[in-house]
Amino acid sequence: MASLGPVEAVVFDVGGVLTASPLPAIARYAAELGVPARELAMTLAGSTAFALLECGLIDVDEACARLDREVQLRLGTEAAAGFAAADMFAVLRNALRPRPEVLQLVAEIAGAGLAIGILTNNWKGAEPPRELRDLVPRAVVVESRLEAMRKPGPAIFARMLDRLGVAPGAVVFLDDIGANVKTARLLGMHTIKVPASEEVYGEAFDELALVLRERNGLNIALGQVRSKL
C-alpha cells in the first residue's frame, strides 16, 4: 500500500471542536423539561427549521416559530409544553464557549505552514470565534449560512476543498458529528471525530498530533490541550 503524502490542510468544525460542545447543554435543557434528551436531539437533527436556518434561508425568529411547532408535533403538546426554541438558542449561545487552548493549537499549525479551513453549519449570530480571525487571519472559512448548503452534504465539503486548493487525501478533518465525519471520509479525507465530553475531547488532538508527526515530521506542542487527555 502506498504511503500517504504530507498533510497540506487541517479543517476544523466550530461547535464541539473550536468551542465547547453544545450537546451536553442540550441534554441538560431536555432534562430540565422532563423530555428525553435523545428525542429532542433527534428532533433537532431532522428539523426542517434548523436546516433552513443553517442554510441562511430563514432568520432565527422564523426558525424558533417553526421549531416550536416541530417539537410539539414530534413530542406531543403535553410533553413539549415547556419547550421554547428561543430558550434553547440561548442555551446554545452560552454553551458555545471558545476553547483558547485549541485556538492556540490552530495558530501553531498555521504557523508551521499548513493551510487552515473552518467548515461550520451556522446562522447569523453564531459566527466562528473572533479570536480565530486574530490568530489565523488567513484561515479559509466556509459557513453554511452564506453558502446555502450545509454538512453532511458533500457539496459544502467540495466548496471547502476548492477554496483551499488541495486534494481530499491531503486534508485532515475534525468534527464532533458522526454524519459529517462519514461524508469527509467517503470523500477521501483523514477524519478525526472529536468527543463531546470536556474531559476527553483532547484525545482527538492527540490523534491529530500523531498524524502530523507521521506524515509531516511536525511536532506540535499540545500544551493545555494535553491536560484534557
If one compares 11 and 134, the residue with the highest pLDDT of the two is 11
Q: For residue 1, what pLDDT is reported?
A: 39
The 10s digit of each residue's pLDDT in 190-206 is: 999 999 887 888 899 99
Q: Are 98 and 129 in contact (CB under 8 A)?
A: yes
Percent of the chain with pLDDT over 90: 69
Please report which confidence band the pLDDT of residue 228 belongs to, taking 50, 70 and 90 as the band edges: low
Per-residue pLDDT of 2-36, as tens digits, reads: 568 999 999 999 999 999 998 889 999 999 988 88
pLDDT of 229 reads 46
- Chain-centre distance for alpha carbon 30: 21
Give the mean pLDDT of 124-145.
Answer: 92
| DSSP classification of residue 187 | T
Lookup: cell for 125: 449570530
Neighbour tally for 160: CB within 10 Å: 23
* pLDDT tops 50 at residue 49: yes
Flag whether pLDDT at 158 surpasses 50.
yes
Q: What is the DSSP string of 8-46?
A: -EEEE-IIIIIB--SHHHHHHHHHHHT--HHHHHHHHHT
Mean pLDDT calculated for residue range 151-156 = 98
159 vs 72, residue with greater confidence: 159
- For residue 189, pLDDT over 70 is answered with yes
Helix (H), strand (E) at residue 210: helix 202-216
Give the CATH architecture of domain 9-21+97-228.
3-Layer(aba) Sandwich (3.40)
pLDDT of residue 76 exceeding 70:
yes
Residue 37: which pLDDT band, with cuts at 50, 70 and 90?
Answer: confident
For 76, half-sphere exposure in the C-beta direction (CA atoms, 13 angstrom radius) is 5
Summary mean pLDDT of the chain: 91
Q: How confident is the model at residue 225 (pLDDT cuts 50, 70, 90)?
A: low
Residue 106, pLDDT score: 94
Task: State the angle between helix axes of 60-75 and 37-45 in degrees (0 to 180), rounded to the nearest 10.
Answer: 130
68 to 35, 89, 148: CA distances (angstroms): 14, 12, 23
